[in-house]
């Protein structure tokens, strides 16, 4: 199996990085770190190191200064479960799941997973099943369905579910074959534009404006990572959009947050105004969803020539599942991870990985791609499009190999994570939160802004520092 350094080197070279830059990276720690048959710790360390090294290279472009980057594996894997260790005013996280979310059996003895944390997703499932939102009622109704037929019907109705497949079953699907040609991170030039000069500032991304339209974990983690290296990240949400409060707090560190209603022309006009002076535009909508509102990557390149558009999806931008909604837990179920973990642990049925690793690793790879594209833009000009997906990250993680006897490893409880925690203020009360695990020798990672409730700020950019 590849070492974490070799995994990092592959990511780095695939994104166009100079191989010599890898000499500045120190990776410490050894696998396994969590009870899993997959290399979750190596994936955590490599993806965070890739983003950290990209930030260091941006700083070298801006200042001429080289610096060292160090990532400890245990710290990295703790950061990839940051929402679990967060404490707000001393209080631990509330229950993570809705009452009917989780695993069920169907009439053909298949397993399906429901994601019902948002009310409209719960309503869609109950409509398809014609039942009340109670576990017993849902299970009874599912016994009248074949697993794949329910999965298809639920998606058609706007629900988010997944039938458990083995990796071989997943690999036989046309969608899996379509994804097989894609790298974990794709970076593509989509338009002509002059190189943009770097704004003034003493951090890698100081003065870089990031417009963030994402929710839950992967996209928000990308924004949090760009913010930790100094970017002005403006998180846009809608006043009526559902959110998961605990995740909003954990991933909101370092960001400004404003409300814009994209359902009305006034709101779309406000977003166009922000986009016109943005440097990076990250979003987690399904492929083509923003296109109908006039904010596809090609539209963004017209509004703001030289912009870096970063697109996150669940199942990728190609293949028959490209427009399916999805979350980490569902992609794990559909693509073979839950089946494989269950077998490795001796469980009769699905078993989740011990972290939302597809989400977190995708978030760091998303930030990595954004910074690598921004660096290219500063040298070559052009508008650029970066694409990642949970399923592509899953394929990457699967091919890193498996950990023998991984389930003999103890979990990392909150007290064991305390060396990696820091206290900070927020608009929700004092936070005890995981610090960033990429240590840069000249531009230390830190969040300059506290996490705040959604919509706390005006939809406008802060004034840039003058050179």
Compute φ and ψ for 106, nearest 5 degrees.
-110, 175
* Residue span of the structural domain in which 341 resides: 102-178+326-345
Flag whether 89 is in a domain. yes
Where is pLDDT greater, at 243 or 47?
A: 47
Three-point CA angle 405, 411, 412, nearest 5° = 135
Give the pLDDT band (50/70/90) at residue 239: confident
| Cα separation of the two ends of the chain | 48
Residues 262 and 285 in one domain: yes
Of 27, 449, 91, 88, the C-alpha closest to 235 is 449
Query: What distance lies between CA 275 and its chain's CA centroid?
Result: 21
Residues 14 and 84 in one domain: yes
Give the pLDDT band (50/70/90) at residue 291: confident
pLDDT at 62: 96
Distance CA 200, CA 198 (A): 7
pLDDT at 467: 58
Q: Is 177 a residue whose pLDDT tops 70?
A: yes
Beta-carbon contacts of residue 430 (< 8 Å; ≥ 6 apart): 88, 89, 90, 423, 424
pTM of the model as a whole: 0.96
Range in 57-61, 67-71, 171-175, 320-324 with the lowest mean pLDDT: 320-324
Flag whether 451 is in a domain. no
Mean pLDDT in residue range 423-441: 97
pLDDT at 240: 83
Q: What is the pLDDT of residues 100-140, one digit of tens each?
A: 999 999 999 999 999 988 889 999 999 999 999 999 999 99
Residues 272 and 373 in one domain: yes
Flag whether 450 is in a domain. no
Residues 116 and 80 in one domain: no
Flag whether 462 is in a domain. no
Q: Which one-letter DSSP state was computed for residue 410?
A: P
CATH code at 44?
Answer: 3.40.50.10540
Residues 82 and 130 in one domain: no
Q: What percent of the chain has pLDDT over 70?
A: 99
Mean pLDDT in residue range 350-370: 97
Flag whether 198 is in a domain. yes
Angle of helix 119-129 versus helix 135-142 axis, rounded to 10 = 50
Residues 83 and 135 in one domain: no
Q: What is the mean pLDDT of the chain?
A: 95
Q: Is 326 a residue whose pLDDT tops 80?
A: yes
Q: What is the pLDDT of residues 308-317, one digit of tens each?
A: 999 999 999 9
Residues 430 and 362 in one domain: yes
Residues 159 and 45 in one domain: no
pLDDT at 216: 86
Q: CA dist 343 to 166, 298, 351, 353, 391, Å?
A: 10, 44, 8, 12, 21
Residues 285 and 390 in one domain: yes
Residues 168 and 188 in one domain: no
pLDDT at 287: 66
- Looking at the 3D structure of the chain, how many domains does it have? 2
Written as six digits, the tokens of 36 are: 């899993």
| Whether the Cβ atoms of residue 327 and residue 391 lie closer than 8 Å to each other | no
Q: What is the pLDDT of residues 400-427, one digit of tens each?
A: 999 999 999 999 999 999 999 999 999 9
């Amino acid at each position: 199996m590849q070492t974490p350094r070799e995994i990092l080197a592959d990511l780095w070279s695939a994104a166009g990085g100079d191989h010599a830059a890898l000499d500045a990276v120190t990776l410490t720690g050894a696998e396994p770190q969590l009870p899993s048959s997959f290399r979750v710790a190596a994936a955590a360390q490599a993806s965070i190191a890739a983003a950290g090294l990209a930030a260091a290279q941006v700083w070298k472009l801006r200042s001429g200064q080289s610096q060292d980057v160090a990532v400890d594996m245990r710290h990295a894997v703790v950061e990839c479960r940051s929402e679990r260790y967060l404490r707000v005013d001393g209080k631990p996280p509330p229950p993570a799941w809705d009452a009917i979310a989780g695993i069920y059996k169907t009439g053909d003895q298949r397993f399906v997973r429901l994601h019902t944390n948002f009310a409209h997703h719960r309503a869609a499932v109950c409509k398809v099943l014609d039942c009340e939102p109670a576990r017993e009622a849902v299970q009874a109704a599912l016994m009248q369905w074949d697993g794949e037929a329910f999965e298809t019907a639920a998606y058609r109705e706007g629900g988010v579910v997944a039938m458990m497949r083995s990796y071989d079953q997943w690999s036989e699907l046309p969608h899996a074959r379509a994804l097989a040609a894609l790298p974990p991170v794709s970076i593509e030039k989509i338009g002509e534009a002059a190189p943009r000069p770097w704004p003034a500032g003493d951090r890698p991304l100081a003065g870089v404006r990031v417009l963030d339209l994402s929710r839950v974990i992967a996209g928000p983690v990308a924004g949090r990572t760009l913010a930790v290296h100094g970017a002005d990240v403006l998180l846009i949400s809608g006043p009526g959009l559902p959110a998961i409060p605990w995740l909003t707090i954990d991933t909101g560190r370092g960001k400004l947050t404003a409300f814009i209603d994209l359902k009305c022309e006034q709101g779309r006009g406000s977003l166009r105004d922000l986009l016109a002076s943005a440097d990076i535009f990250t979003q987690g909508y399904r492929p083509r969803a923003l296109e109908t509102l006039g904010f596809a990557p090609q539209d963004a390149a017209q509004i703001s020539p030289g912009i870096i558009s970063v697109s996150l999806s669940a199942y990728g931008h190609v293949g028959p599942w490209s427009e399916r909604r999805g979350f980490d837990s569902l992609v794990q179920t559909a693509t073979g991870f839950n089946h494989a973990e269950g077998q490795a642990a001796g469980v009769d049925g699905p078993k989740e990985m011990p972290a939302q690793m597809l989400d977190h690793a995708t978030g760091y790879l998303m930030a990595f791609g954004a910074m690598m594209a921004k660096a290219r833009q500063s040298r070559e000009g052009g508008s650029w499009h970066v694409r990642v997906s949970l399923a592509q990250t899953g394929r990457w993680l699967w091919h890193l190999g498996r950990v023998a006897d991984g389930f003999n490893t103890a979990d990392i409880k909150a007290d064991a994570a305390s060396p990696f925690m820091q206290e900070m203020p927020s608009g929700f009360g004092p936070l005890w939160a995981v610090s960033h695990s990429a240590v840069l020798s000249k531009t230390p990672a830190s969040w300059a802004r506290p996490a705040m409730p959604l919509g706390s700020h005006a939809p406008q950019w802060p004034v840039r520092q003058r050179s």
